[in-house]
Amino acid sequence: MTATQQSGSPRTGPRQVEPAEDAHREELAFLAAFDDGPKPPGWRLTPRAAVTFVMGSGGALALPRPVAGLPARLLISPKFVGERALVERAVVTLAGERGLLLVGEPGTAKSMLSELLAAAVSGNSGLVVQGTAGTTEDQLRYGWNYALLLAEGPSPRALVPSPVLTAMRTGGVVRVEEITRCLPEVQDALVSILSDRRIAVPELSGTDASAVDAAPGFTVIATANLRDRGVSEMSAALKRRFNFEAVGPIGDLAAETALVRRQAGAALERVGAPFAVDDVVLEALVTAFRDLRNGVSEEGWAVERPSTVMSTAEAVSVATSLGLADAYFPGDRDPLSLLPGHLLGVVRKDDPGDAARLLGYWDGAVRRRAESGARAWRRLWELRDVLDS
């Protein structure tokens, strides 16, 4: 279970990753002032502004009236690369206080999308339960401070709320990651929460704290991995309490390359290093990932898919590694020469035998591109021995 962080009080000191509500604090405040249309109960933004926050504005927006501390005009940056219609359906689901389940292959930004939606709706993306085989029912309901419990017995002061309980009290969004990894009894606890919209605390019977009713705005965003089916299939009862939305891989090569460049550049910026990997290397990297992921090259040539998932998230990791190598070991080797070794590391994660599939890709698509005269692919073909050693 992830510790909760209440919105409105940003932490001090450097962090590796900023929560969405902190990283985009100005945009959220601007959108709240920009669109004063009808909002669902408990929401920070209107549904239209929530979609704009996730997908970007496409151009600078102008405030209808001056607001202290905010710029008069602001461009809302795009944060999720995918179908706008998917995001609109997700927002409508949450506006109806219905559970939202995001499903898809690993690395398709399901968790990032759930974080962005939670930040837009309730201003707090930090109420999270991480689903594992060891997740307990207490992590969905509540636990106890045993020192206080022994000292004074069951009391509201001794109760330790779960992220779900906190979201119910505040009318916020709680995120349940990898829900299919949870055991059936844990999933069953979520069924009753989504049905009754309350959590009973029988230990506090006879007091005002004997039950917690969900405040307006409370809802659940869950994620599930299609590749790894997890510990337990979801029951039919739990499925009925969610609207399902499938989050797929990025369909456009240029859009995926731009995303990899942006996120790898941000990772280098966090360590104070410039991102100097050129566009030719990035395009070759993303093209190789897409070919191996899809089982067919951009030209239509058949490619044997490895068992590991060649996700955009993995491509960002490789691009970041190339950028770090260039920043910390300048002039030693060009980033393109490091690409085959990093690709080999990715494809061998699930099955060492996938190295042969990568070599087959080199002998097929890479060789044919090299023969067509493409300079980057000629260089990659020359590096074939890296994969055969």
- Computed over every residue of the chain, the mean pLDDT equals 91
Q: Are residues 132 and 46 in the same domain?
A: yes
Q: Are residues 102 and 157 in the same domain?
A: yes
Asked whether residue 3 is domain-assigned, the answer is: no
What is the tally of structural domains in the chain? 2
- Say if residue 219 is exposed, middle or buried (CB neighbours under 10 Å; 0-12, 13-18, 19+): buried
Asked whether residue 1 is domain-assigned, the answer is: no
Q: Are residues 126 and 28 in the same domain?
A: yes
Q: Are residues 225 and 206 in the same domain?
A: yes
Domain containing 297: what range?
253-386
Number of alpha helices (DSSP H) and beta strands (DSSP E) in the chain: 16, 11
Q: Are residues 224 and 311 in the same domain?
A: no
- Tell me the pTM: 0.89
**H/E run at residue 225:** strand 219-225
Asked whether residue 71 is domain-assigned, the answer is: yes
Q: Are residues 110 and 228 in the same domain?
A: yes
Contact predicate 123/22, CB 8 Å: no
Last residue of a domain, one of 208, 227, 246: 246
Q: Are residues 238 and 364 in the same domain?
A: no
SS3 265: helix
Q: Are residues 178 and 209 in the same domain?
A: yes
Q: Are residues 228 and 280 in the same domain?
A: no
Q: Are residues 159 and 70 in the same domain?
A: yes
Q: Could you tell me which residues come within 8 angstroms of residue 134 by beta carbon, excluding any fewer than 6 positions away?
A: none
Contact predicate 181/135, CB 8 Å: yes
147 φ/ψ angles, rounded to the nearest 5 degrees: -65, -45
Asked whether residue 2 is domain-assigned, the answer is: no
pLDDT tens-place string over residues 240-249 = 999 999 999 9
CATH of the domain at 95: 3.40.50.300
Instruction: Say if strands 173-177 and 142-144 run parallel, antiparallel, or are unpaired.
Output: unpaired
Last residue of a domain, one of 212, 246, 280: 246
Q: Are residues 30 and 106 in the same domain?
A: yes
For the chain, which ranges sit under pLDDT 70?
A: 1-13, 227-231, 389
Q: What is the DSSP string of 111-180?
A: HHHHHHHHHHHHS----EEE--TT--GGGTSEEE-HHHHHHH-S-TTTEEE-HHHHHHHHT-EEEEESGG
Instruction: Note the pLDDT of residue 4.
Output: 41
Instruction: Note the pLDDT of residue 231.
Output: 63
The rounded Cα 121 to chain-centroid distance in angstroms is 16
Q: Are residues 95 and 203 in the same domain?
A: yes
Asked whether residue 53 is domain-assigned, the answer is: yes
Instruction: Note the pLDDT of residue 210.
Output: 87
Last residue of a domain, one of 229, 246, 263: 246
